[in-house]
Every structure is written in C-alpha cells, then in structure tokens.
Amino acid sequence: MKKLSVLFVAVMALGIFNSSCDAKMGGKMKSDVDSASYAIGVLEGSRIIEGLEGIPGGYSKEALLAAYELAVKQDSGALKMTVEQAQAYLQTYFPKAQEKEAATNKAASEKFMEDNAKKDGIKVTPSGLQYKVITEGTGPKPDSISVVKVNYKGTLADGTEFDSSYKRGEPATFPLNQVIKGWGEGIQLMPVGSKYMFFIPSDLGYGDRGAGGKIKGNMALIFEVELLEIVPPAAPEAPAIPQK
C-alpha cells in the first residue's frame, strides 16, 4: 500500500506540474490562484521526480499523465481501468517488478564485483569486501565500536552518485556498530589519515531491500572514504552534589 500511496502522490504532482506549465496559459498568471497553483506544481513536481525513479520497473510519464488527465476529467468511458482495477493491478505488479529488478541487480552486481577483483591494487577480504588504498595514514585504527569522523562519496557501480559529505560541506560522524557491514569492516582496516576505496557487495550493503530511490535491492556500492578522526568517548558527567 505504501507504493500505491507514493504513486498516487506522484500522479497528482506531475499532473499539477503539467497543467501549470500548459502552453494555454501563455506564461501569464491571471490570478493569485494561478500563481499558487504554479508554485505548487514547481515544488511538488520537483520533489516527486526522485521518488518516481525508485518505483520498481520504472514508469512511463506519458502513460501516467494520460491516465491522470482522463481521471481528473472523470472520463470513465475512456479510462482502461476503474480505480478498483488499478489498485488490484498494482498490488500484484509491484511485488513481481521488485523481484525481477532484484534478480537483475544481483546478476549485474556479482559480475561487477568479479571483474573488479581482477584489477590492479584491489584487495579482497574473506567476507567479499574489496578495497583499494589510495593514501595510507599513520594514525591508529578504529575498532568495531569506535565513533569515527569521515569524509566520503558513495556511488553505484555505474557511477551514479547517491551521497556525498563533500557536497554537504561537512564530515559525517557515526559509530561503526550502526552502519552497513561493508563500512563497519572496511573502516577498521584504515589508520587515521587514510583514504580508501571500498567496493561493497550487496550482502555487505543494503541487501535485497535497498535504501531509497537510487540504491535498489541487491546493488553493489562503491565508497571513497577518508578517515579523519576517531572521536574520543564523551567524558561521564560528574555526579550531582546533594544539597543540604
């Protein structure tokens, strides 16, 4: 049902955005309502595109907008599905699409990891994690419960970037016992001051569930990581002095 809700919002947002940009308006706003509608279209249309990219199997913008227009016009005779039929279809379609997508991703990721392991400078751990040393630091290494401060960039095997502390303009800080297995294992290999590349198979990443729109089920991940600091544990608070 969550996917149905996402798709419904996406249809609404794209429909508003499409009508707001309609050439019939000639780029002129005739009232405050027109301006408000256009503003909603800009905000919601821009916001929802990334969510649509995460729909299993992808989507056809043309088919989506065609059905939306007919539904808004309440032209039930032209619609090829009733609301009930559409809901029933999607409840069956999404699980199948997710399963197919996950199988495709799994095969592609395994092939990527197999080929990558043969490249110069790539080291492979018993778990299947692959890494390459770009810069070797001279500081201490963290352990499995350390809190670390890092700069990093994450990409998919095809080069699509999905996260970057560099772009946010500040390092990230987190405990190693609360991250994906590939991170937890890989960063423990790094002395402070190091920069490594990690190539993480899906079973050491987000598995078949994925994580958000760009990281789908069974995808291998690539991270460029700089270990800046092992964050010392916070000092315990002094006990309160009893008052007389």
Question: Known catalytic residues?
Answer: 152, 162-163, 180, 206, 223
For 4, half-sphere exposure in the C-beta direction (CA atoms, 13 angstrom radius) is 12
Crossing angle (nearest 10°) for helices 32-53 and 2-20: 140
Measured between alpha carbons, how far is 224 from 222 in angstroms, rounded to an integer? 7
Give the rounded distance of the alpha carbon of 49 from its chain centre.
13
- Tokens 């070797």: give the residue: 136
- Encoded tokens for 225: 């990581």
DSSP element (H, E) containing 231: strand 221-231
- Maximal C-alpha separation, the chain: 83
The C-alpha atoms of residue 13 and residue 19 are separated, in whole angstroms, by 10
Of the chain, the end-to-end C-alpha distance in Å amounts to 60
Give the residue from 197, 189, 227, 205 showing the smallest Cα distance to 120: 197
